[in-house]
Amino acid sequence: MPDPVTAPRPARLPPWWPGAVLVGAATVAALTAGAALPLLPASTAAVVLGAVLGSTGLHRPAFRPATAFASRRLLRAAVVLLGLQVPLAQVLGLGAAGAVLVLGTVAVTFAGTLLLGRLLRVRRERTLLVATGFSICGASAIAAVRPATDADEDDTTTAIALVTLCGTLAIGLLPLLRGPLGLDVQGFGAWAGASVHDVGQAVAVGDLVTGALATVVAVKLARVLLLAPLVLLVGLSRRRRARAGGRAHRPALLPLFVVGFVAAVALRATGVLPGELLTGVARVQDVLLVAALFGLGTGIDVPRLVRTDRRSLALGLAAWLLVAGVALAGVRLLGL
Nearest to 319 by CA among 93, 33, 110, 83: 110
Confidence of residue 251 (pLDDT cuts 50, 70, 90): low
Q: Which helix (H) or strand (E) segment is 17 a member of? A: helix 17-36
Dihedral sign for Cα atoms in the order 99, 104, 320, 301: positive
The confidence score (pLDDT) of residue 19 equals: 87
Give the number of other CB atoms < 10 A from CB of residue 37.
13
Tens digit of pLDDT for each residue in 90-121? 888 888 999 999 999 999 999 999 999 999 99
Contact of 131 with 148, CB cutoff 8 Å: no
- Listed by start position, the domains of the chain span 42-334
Higher pLDDT, 310 or 247: 310
User: In 120-184, where does DSSP find H-type helix?
Assistant: 124-135, 139-145, 153-181
Tens digit of pLDDT for each residue in 142-162? 988 888 888 888 899 899 889
Asked if the model's pLDDT at residue 75 lies above 70, the reply is yes
- Give, in degrees to the nearest 5, the angle at Cα 322 between 318 and 326: 175
Confidence of residue 197 (pLDDT cuts 50, 70, 90): confident
pTM for the predicted model, two decimal places: 0.85
